[in-house]
Amino acid sequence: MKLNESTMISRRTALQAFSALGVSGLAGASLLRPAFAAAPKLGDTDALIVIDVQNCFIPGGSLAVKEGDAIVPVINAMAKKFPHVVLTQDWHTADHVSFASQHGGKKPFEAVKLPYGNQVLWPDHCVQGTDGAALHKDLNIPHAELVIRKGFRKGVDSYSAFLEADRKTSTGLGGYLKQRGIRNVYLCGLATDFCVAWSALDARKQGFTVAVVEDACRGIDLNGSLAAAWKDMTKAGVKRMQSKDFA
C-alpha cells in the first residue's frame, strides 16, 4: 500500500507524541515489541550487570559456587552485545560481620540474628584487596563502564548491588543507572540465589525492567534457596532469559 500524506503525517505525529512523553527510541515495528522479546535490540537504555565474578566464588575459591567458572565465556560473549556493562565486586573487610569466623562457635552456612535481620554466615571471602576478591582473570569486558563494590562496611552485608542488607543504605547504583538513562537491566554472574536474585528484586523495586540470564549464572543452593529465588523473582516480574536469546 502506498502511504498517502495524511497517513504519514499522523504517523509522524504519533512518534512526536511518544518522544514528548520521553518514550524515545521507539519506531516502527519496535512500538509493538515487548520490552524483553527474544533477541532484544540492545541500546542506550539497556545495561548488563555482571555480579561478583570473583575468584572466591570460582571452584578453588573459599566460597566456591559449583561450575562458577563455566559462566565466564558465556558472559564474555554476551557482554559484547551490550553497549553498557556494569561489574560488581563483593568487597568485605577482613573482620566482616558476614564471616562465621567473627562469631565464636558458629560455622559457615549457619545463620545469626543481627540488628538488621537474619544473616547467613559465610566462610571468609572477597576480602578487600586480596586475590580472592579480584575479578576472574578470564573475564574479558574491557568496555565495562563501572565497577561497583558492595559489602565494604564491616557491620552490614550487601548481597544486592542496589541496597545494603540493612535495607536502607543505597549503593548508589540505581541513581547512577537512572541518570545514565538506563531503563532495562539484565543480570548475570554469581550467585543466582544470593547476589543476583537480591539485585534483581531491588532493581524491580526501583522501577527497572529486569531479566536474569539463567545460563550465565550459577547458584549456591542452600536449603532450597535456588528454587525460592526463582519463585520470588518470577513473582516480582523478573524475566528469565537464556544467553541464546541474545543471538
Q: Which residues would be at the binding site for ligand VGL (CB under 6 A)?
A: 52, 57, 90, 122, 159, 190-191, 194-195
Instruction: Please give the helix or strand (H or E) that residue 232 lies within, else none.
Output: helix 225-235
Between 52 and 245, name the residue whose CB sits nearer to Zn ion: 52
Nearest CA to 54 out of 145, 151, 120, 164 is that of 151
What the block records as the C-alpha cell of 135 is 575479578
Nearest CA to 190 out of 28, 22, 67 is that of 67
Stretch that binds Zn ion, among 19-27, 85-93, 128-136, 161-169 (CB under 5 A): 85-93
Task: State the minimum distance, in angstroms, from the CB of residue 237 to ligand VGL.
Answer: 21
Q: What is the DSSP string of 72-92?
A: HHHHHHHHTT-S-EEEEEE-B
Please report whether residue 124 would count as binding Zn ion according to CB under 5 A. Answer: no
Between 133 and 245, name the residue whose CB sits nearer to ligand VGL: 133
Q: Residue 232 catalytic?
A: no
Task: State the minimum distance, in angstroms, from the CB of residue 52 to ligand VGL.
Answer: 4
Between 42 and 130, name the residue whose CB sits nearer to ligand VGL: 130
Task: State the minimum distance, in angstroms, from the CB of residue 107 to ligand VGL.
Answer: 15
The item of ligand VGL, Zn ion, none sharing an interface with residue 190, based on CB under 5 to 8 Å by kind, is ligand VGL
Q: Residue 106 catalytic?
A: no
Cis peptide bond N-terminal to 191, omega within 30 = yes
Catalytic option among 90, 150, 217, 245: 150
The rounded distance, in Å, linking the Cα atoms of 71 and 124 is 23
Stretch that binds Zn ion, among 27-35, 81-89, 90-98, 208-216 (CB under 5 A): 90-98
Please report whether residue 245 would count as binding Zn ion according to CB under 5 A. Answer: no
Strands 111-114 vs 117-120: parallel, antiparallel or unpaired: antiparallel
Instruction: Please give the helix or strand (H or E) that residue 148 lies within, else none.
Output: strand 146-150
The rounded distance, in Å, linking the Cα atoms of 217 and 102 is 29
- Residue carrying C-alpha cell 568485605: 92
Nearest CA to 187 out of 132, 156, 229, 124 is that of 229
Between 198 and 245, name the residue whose CB sits nearer to ligand VGL: 198
Contact of 162 with 202, CB cutoff 8 Å: yes
Task: State the minimum distance, in angstroms, from the CB of residue 194 to Zn ion.
Answer: 8
Catalytic option among 69, 195, 202, 239: 195
Task: State the minimum distance, in angstroms, from the CB of residue 56 to ligand VGL.
Answer: 8
Between 132 and 174, name the residue whose CB sits nearer to ligand VGL: 132
Contact of 205 with 228, CB cutoff 8 Å: no
Identify the residue among 69, 90, 124, 193 touching Zn ion (CB under 5 A). 90
Q: Residue 150 catalytic?
A: yes
Chain residues binding Zn ion by CB under 5 A are 90
Which residues are tagged catalytic? 52, 150, 195
